[in-house]
């Protein structure tokens, strides 16, 4: 598999990380090396193996649908970059 | 008091020969004096630590104390602690004062332990040398030109340099065991699911596990007794009967079957590491254990598998850092998407970005099956190898790292060389098995060497027993660089 600078820019765009031309080129070199390492996986045939997503095969616990958290909005918003009247402020999304 | 074991400190506190305030003050004084050189701590808060020490002394006076009451513990800066700056080694969280306690912090608080400060670490625990921290690198107290390992490098340095008697770490691919090995201390990553991940800032959720770092196996057992426990707020926390991890320490090792995977003893480790490991194995034979060769044929795949799964999970976990609810927000931006992009570009360091990019790519349309699913399939083959090996042996041993600590700056420009530092450790994260590192000697320039012990699921007490018996007949664990 060969990565291109455009691939790197597309991935950075998907990941919401701003990246300039120099950074994209530097990232390309490093990511290509890392994917070279990762590529050794493809030599092994695992077509009949069940994927293992977790160390323990446990099922998700269920609980009663009751309130378990108390309201701590003021505490949590005290560390937010920008709040007003209990709301998190972000740039206007809808014109 | 600097070289005392936790058991000794605990006894002196209980008998009121020392107070927690005295012990805490001694640690704070050492940190004040030595931290400017080592940089093991990101945050120290004398007022909050001393308030906890006073409360601990009151607990002891009223007869309400437990084994860790009054003991200072250095907390890795990945654990949210209420009222403490909790940065995870990142600019992204350089202004984050946690509004709540992690499950682990709650348990230490309930035990009356003193939070002596928040230790330095690789940014978001992504690194093997502590050089990716936004707050600067940490020095190895055995040789200040060497790295302490990572990501729990500050924790390992703090214990080795006797700035704190014990510390917490987290281990996603080796982040407790590798720095423990490079700094000549003991550290254990428990079975996945035993230590609560609630409030432990997530890197790769199916691999992350908290654990203790200290001078000896006996100290680790005391710490594990406090750290392990069910937490309803962690969806993968395991509900099990309470276990005394010190319960098997005294058991003789007669008949113990030590498996030596031929893949771990193939070319790759340095001659000084090989010699120290060989000598340690000889010591175990003298203690009555037998060694047998086992094979883990798929284990050489653990690094590629790890570097698909861990970045994939990280890219998802780190999407929460968007500059909206907490953490760094860029000063100027044009619209919402630009705010996300700039905040994340400024808030994350190079290694974190690199892993987010890898993870985003392997999860993206068209590549998911070839990388992510393939890696999960190989993960099962690796786990099966270990299950097969445990049919023939009780514990698996090998080196924790291929070499002693490398020099600061030596590998920081070469991610692949850095990733290979975890070559022996990452399999235990993929399988979820408990694993530990104990000091077994020194190499060039008196840089420490660690022995790696991997146990079967939930056999922490046995691992600690094996390590403790070794530490009864050797003195590597009591040596200190200061």
Q: What is the pLDDT of residues B61-106, one digit of tens each?
A: 999 999 999 999 999 999 999 999 999 999 999 999 999 999 999 9
Active-site residue flag, B205: no
Residues 11-50 of A with CB under 8 A from B: 11-12, 14-19, 27, 30-31, 33-35, 37-42, 44, 46, 49-50
**Which pLDDT score is estimated for B97?**
97
Interface test with B, best of A22, A46, A77, A93 (most B CBs within 10 A): A46
| Active site annotation includes B175 | yes
Catalytic residue among B19, B65, B151, B237: B151
Q: Any CB–CB contact under 8 A between B365 and chain A? A: no
For residue A49, the chain B residue with the least C-alpha distance is B377
Cα distance between residue B455 and residue B190, in whole Å: 9
Q: From the list A27, A35, A79, which residue is nearest B99 (CB)?
A: A79
Residue B475 in any domain: the answer is no
Q: How many domains does chain A have?
A: 1
Tokens describing residue B388 = 């097969």
> What residues of chain A lie within 8 A of the CB of B339, using their CB?
90-91
Give A44→chain B minimum CA distance, Å.
Answer: 8
* CATH code of residue B64: 3.90.1300.10
Q: Is B240 domain-assigned?
A: yes
Give yes or no for a contact between B23 and B9, defined as CB atoms under 8 angstroms apart. Answer: yes
CB nearest to A18's CB, from B335, B345, B360: B345
**B297: in domain:** no
Residue B367: inside a domain, yes or no?
Answer: no
Q: How many structural domains comprise chain B?
A: 1
Is residue A37 included in any domain, yes or no?
Answer: yes
Residue B227 tokens read as 């750290």
Q: Tens digit of pLDDT for each residue in B245-289?
A: 999 999 999 999 999 999 999 878 999 999 999 999 999 999 999
Residue range of the domain that includes B242:
6-252
Distance CA A59, CA A64 (A): 16
Q: Which residues of B touch A60 (CB under 8 A)?
A: 235
Most distant pair of Cα atoms in chain A: their distance:
58
Token code pair at residue B101: 């306690």
Dist. CA B179–CA B206, nearest whole Å: 21
> Residue B402 corresponds to which tokens in the numbers above?
């291929």
Q: Which residue out of B19, B20, B49, B76 is catalytically annotated?
A: B76
The per-residue pLDDT for A41 is 94
Contact assessment for residue A54 and residue B376, using Cβ atoms and an 8 Å cutoff:
no
Output the pLDDT for position B266: 84
- Could B354 and A30 be called an inter-chain contact, meaning their C-beta atoms sit closer than 8 Å? yes
Alpha-carbon distance of B271 to B275, in angstroms, equals 6
> Which tokens in the block code for residue B231?
């937490």
At residue A59, the pLDDT reads: 81
- Write out chain B residues lying below 8 Å of A44, CB-based: 298, 301, 378, 381
How many whole angstroms separate alpha carbon A26 and alpha carbon A5?
A: 9
3-state secondary structure of B229: coil
Residues of chain B with pLDDT under 50: none
Looking at residue A55, its pLDDT comes to 87
Among left, alpha and beta (phi > 0; psi -120 to 50; other), residue B72 is beta
Cβ within 8 Å, pair A54-B236: yes
Answer yes or no: is A76 within a domain.
no
Q: Is A25 within a domain?
A: yes
B439 assigned to some structural domain: no
Cα–Cα distance for residue pair B227/B75, rounded to 1 Å: 12
Interchain pair B431, A18: CB under 8 A:
no
Interface test with B, best of A38, A40, A50, A87 (most B CBs within 10 A): A38
The verdict on residue A16 lying in a domain is yes
Q: Is residue B242 within 8 angstroms of chain A, CB to CB? A: no
Whole-structure pTM value: 0.97
What's the rounded Cα separation, in Å, for the pair B267 and B259?
A: 18
- Separation CA B412–CA B299 (nearest Å): 25
* Chain A residues closer than 8 Å to B341 by CB: 16-18
Q: Which residue in B473, B460, B468, B3 sits closest to B216, CA to CA?
A: B468
Please check the confidence at residue A8 and state whether its pLDDT lies above 80: yes
CB contact under 8 A, B326 and A53: no
Q: What range defines the domain where residue A12 resides?
A: 5-41
**Spatial distance between the Cα atoms of B93 and B126, rounded to a whole number of angstroms:** 15
Interface of B with A in 88-117 (CB under 8 A): 95-97, 99
In A, minimum Cα distance to B314 occurs at A15
Residue found under tokens 């570009």: B345
Q: What is the pLDDT of residues A46-62, one digit of tens each?
A: 999 999 998 887 788 88
Note whether B333 contacts A91, CB cutoff 8 Å.
Answer: yes
Tell me the CA distances in angstroms from A15 to A28, B123, B304, B367, one per residue in order: 15, 18, 22, 16
| Rounded Cα–Cα distance for residues A54 and A63 (Å) | 22
Q: Cα(B39)–Cα(B36) distance, rounded to whole angstroms?
A: 6
Residue B421's pLDDT is 87
Q: Which residue has the tokens 């883990």?
A: B296
Q: How many CB pairs under 8 A join A and B?
A: 161
Please name which of B180, B252, B176 lies closest in space to residue B216, comparing C-alpha atoms: B180
Q: How far apart are CA B78 and CA B93, in angstroms?
A: 10
Note whether B432 and B457 are within 8 A (CB): yes
Q: Say if strands B290-294 and B209-214 run parallel, antiparallel, or are unpaired.
A: unpaired
Asked if residue A1 has pLDDT above 70, the reply is no
User: Judging by DSSP bridges, how do beta strands B257-261 and B395-399 pair with one another?
Assistant: parallel
- Cβ B67 vs Cβ B222: under 8 Å: yes
Confidence of residue A83 (pLDDT cuts 50, 70, 90): very high
Tell me which residue has tokens 């209420």. Answer: B82
| Residue A72: inside a domain | no
Quick check: B308 and A38 CB within 8 A? yes
* Inside any domain, residue B216: yes
Q: What is the pLDDT of residue A94?
A: 79
pLDDT at B65: 95
Instruction: Report CB contact under 8 Å: B335, A91.
Output: yes
Give chain A positions within 8 Å (CB) of B97.
79
Q: How far apart are the first and last CA of chain A?
A: 42
B332 Rama sector, left if φ>0, alpha if ψ -120 to 50, beta otherwise: beta
Give catalytic status of residue B76 as yes or no. Answer: yes
Residue B10 included in any domain = yes
Does any domain span residue B312?
Answer: no
Q: Could you give the ipTM of this predicted complex?
A: 0.95
């Amino acid at each position: 598999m060969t990565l291109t600078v455009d691939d790197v820019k597309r991935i950075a765009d998907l990941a919401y990380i701003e990246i300039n031309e120099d950074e994209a080129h530097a990232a390309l070199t490093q990511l290509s090396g890392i994917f070279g390492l990762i590529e050794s996986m493809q030599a092994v045939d695992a077509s009949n193996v069940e994927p293992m997503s977790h160390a323990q095969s446990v099922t998700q616990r269920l609980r009663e649908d009751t309130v378990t958290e108390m309201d701590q909005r003021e505490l949590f918003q005290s560390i937010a970059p920008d709040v007003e009247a209990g709301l998190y402020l972000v740039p206007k999304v809808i014109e | 008091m600097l070289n005392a074991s936790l058991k000794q400190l605990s006894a002196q506190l209980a008998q009121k020969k020392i107070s927690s305030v005295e012990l805490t003050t001694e640690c704070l004084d050492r940190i004040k004096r030595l931290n400017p050189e080592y940089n093991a701590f990101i945050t120290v808060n004398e007022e909050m630590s001393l308030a906890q020490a006073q409360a601990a002394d009151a607990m002891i006076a009223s007869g309400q104390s437990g084994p860790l009451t009054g003991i200072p513990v250095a907390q890795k800066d990945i654990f949210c602690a209420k009222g403490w700056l909790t940065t995870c080694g990142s600019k992204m969280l350089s202004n984050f004062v946690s509004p709540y306690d992690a499950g682990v912090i709650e348990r230490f608080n309930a035990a009356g332990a003193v939070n002596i400060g928040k230790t330095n670490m690789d940014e978001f625990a992504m690194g093997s040398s502590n050089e990716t921290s936004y707050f600067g690198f940490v020095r190895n107290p055995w040789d200040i030109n060497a790295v302490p390992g990572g990501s729990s490098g500050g924790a390992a340095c703090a214990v080795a340099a006797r700035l704190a008697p014990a510390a917490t770490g987290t281990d996603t691919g080796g982040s407790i065991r590798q720095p423990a090995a490079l700094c000549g201390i003991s550290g254990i990553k428990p079975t996945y699911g035993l230590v609560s991940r609630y409030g432990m800032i997530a890197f790769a959720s199916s691999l992350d596990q908290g654990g203790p770092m200290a001078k000896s196996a006996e100290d680790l057992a005391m710490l594990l007794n406090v750290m392990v426990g069910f937490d309803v707020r962690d969806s993968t926390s395991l509900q099990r009967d309470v276990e005394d991890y010190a319960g098997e320490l005294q058991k003789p090792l007669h008949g113990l079957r030590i498996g030596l995977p031929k893949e771990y003893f193939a070319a790759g480790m340095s001659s000084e590491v090989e010699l120290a490991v060989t000598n340690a194995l000889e010591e175990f034979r003298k203690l009555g254990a037998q060694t047998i060769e086992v094979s883990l044929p798929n284990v050489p795949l653990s690094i590629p598998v790890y570097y698909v799964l861990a970045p994939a999970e990280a890219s998802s976990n780190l999407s929460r850092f968007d500059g909206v609810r907490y953490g760094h927000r860029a000063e100027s931006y044009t619209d919402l998407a630009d705010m996300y992009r700039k905040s994340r570009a400024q808030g994350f360091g190079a290694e974190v970005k690199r892993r987010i990019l890898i993870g985003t790519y392997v999860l993206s349309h068209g590549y998911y099956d070839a990388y992510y699913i393939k890696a999960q399939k190989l993960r099962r083959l690796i786990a099966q190898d270990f299950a097969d090996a445990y049919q023939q042996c009780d514990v698996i041993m090998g080196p924790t790292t291929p070499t002693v600590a490398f020099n600061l700056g030596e590998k920081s420009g070469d991610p692949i060389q850095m990733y290979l530092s975890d070559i022996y450790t990452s399999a235990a994260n993929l399988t979820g098995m408990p694993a530990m590192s104990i000091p077994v000697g020194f190499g060039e320039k008196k840089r420490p060497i660690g022995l790696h012990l991997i146990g079967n699921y939930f056999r922490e007490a046995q691992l600690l027993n094996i390590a403790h018996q070794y530490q009864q007949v050797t003195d590597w664990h009591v040596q200190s660089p200061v």
